[in-house]
Structure 1
Amino acid sequence: MSLLRRVVRPMLAAPFIIDGLDAVLHPSRHVEKLERVLPTLEKAGAPPVLTSDAVMLTRATGVVSVAAGIGLAAGAAPRSSAVVLAALNLPLALVNHPVWAIEDAAARAEAVSGLARAGAVGAGLLLAAVDRGGRPSLGWRIRNSRRQREAMAAAYSSAAARG
């Protein structure tokens, strides 16, 4: 693993680990944020399981966030961990920065800025999800293996025809 990956992955995972631990240990602040957007979620047709027990949902999200964050930071299944965090990042960004629900111009500008930051983190997570550490993709390896077999077969048949 390159030095850049050793530094960047833990930095990218740190906010998710910290916020996840806070959600597990002290869910009340996170539940308040969720309850502010619950009417919108219900109008959008969110399943009742999401709106029935906000504390359990907050803690479960926190556990997933911590587990995936540690996986990304430690380099254990970093691509899968980055996908999980990217998928988790979108709803968390919308809950933490509900631009549509804010009427004050200054608070709305702050929420838009926070949403843009969350989008940037999500983009970084997607980049981490497709990072193969310089190794070729499975598709390339399969195509390359097929080409090599075909070239070897052609070389054998050419040699057999000559001799």
Structure 2
Amino acid sequence: MAVLRRITRPLLATPFVIEGMRALRRPLPLAAGTKSWARRLGAPVDDPLLVVKLNATVQIGAGGLLALGRLPRTASLVLATSLVPATLAEHAWWKEEDPELRKDQLLEFAQRIGLFGALLIGAADTHGKPSAAYRARTATTRGRKKAHRSVARTGGHVHAAIDTVGSGASAAASGTGRAMHSAADSARAKLPQR
């Protein structure tokens, strides 16, 4: 699996690095699309050229990190996030009136959706190690079991101490011992069963 990761990460990162370099070389056509897309969403963009350059820089940087295997989960998530506005700005197939252009834009849009899915898989890849959620669940379960064993041991010690005190004491001490036995038993009964 490690070999597969070393091969697929650079393959997945390549389109983003290439697209980021293309956007830095020719940002004006993308800036026009970004401005119209932002206007439709009601998001004020003062300098669409700066937004395009910033997005391109993020794509090159995160793509490079992903290709090198550095912070791959974070890089995948950043690339997936940067893919959304770029796709909506560049491949709005629903706006095309020419059937041939519409089909081409739809194909590009579908490819971007596929890349988005692959990046989400990359963002979730834990390299075969348990996820943080799994580790938290098992730690909680282990802690609960440890507490259960500890209380069970303590209850046994309490019973032994009560028996020791009660054996040489008067009837009043014996009544107190029975009450303490009862309290220890009820505390043990309230523990969640495994």
Alignment TM-score, normalising by the size of structure 2: 0.72
- Which 10-residue stretch deviates more, 108-117 or 40-49? 40-49
Indicate yes or no: 2:17 matched with 1:20.
Answer: no
Structure showing greater relative contact order (alpha-carbon pairs closer than 8 Å, 6 or more residues apart): 1
* Superposition pairs of residues 5-154 of structure 1, within 5 angstroms: 5-24=5-24, 26=25, 28=26, 30-36=27-33, 38-49=35-46, 52-54=47-49, 56-154=50-148
Displaced runs of 4 or more, over 4 A: 156-160
- The answer to whether the 8 Å contact 1:68/1:82 transfers is yes
Q: Distance in 2 between matches of 1:156 and 1:122?
A: 49
Percent identity (aligned) = 29
TM-score w.r.t. the length of structure 1 is: 0.84
Aligned CA-pair RMSD: 2.2
Higher Cα radius of gyration: 2
Query: What are the superposed Cα offsets for residues 115-140 of structure 1, whole Å, 9 maximum, x if unpaired?
Result: 00000000111111111112112222
CA distance in 2 between partners of 1:77 and 1:36 (Å): 31
Secondary structure of the structure 2 residue equivalent to 1:48: coil
SS in 1 for 2:61: helix
Moved more, 122-131 or 35-44: 35-44
Other structure's SS at 2:97 match: coil
Q: Deviations over 1:78-98 (max 9, x none)?
A: 111111100111111122212
Gaps of 5+ in 1: none
**Partner Cα distance (1:99, 1:44) in 2:** 17
Structure 2 residue runs of 5 or longer lacking an equivalent are 161-194
Instruction: Please tell me whether the aligned partners of residues 97 and 114 of structure 1 are also in contact (alpha carbons under 8 angstroms).
Output: yes
Give the Cα separation in 2 of the matches to 1:58 and 1:5. 30
Shift of 1:110: 0.5
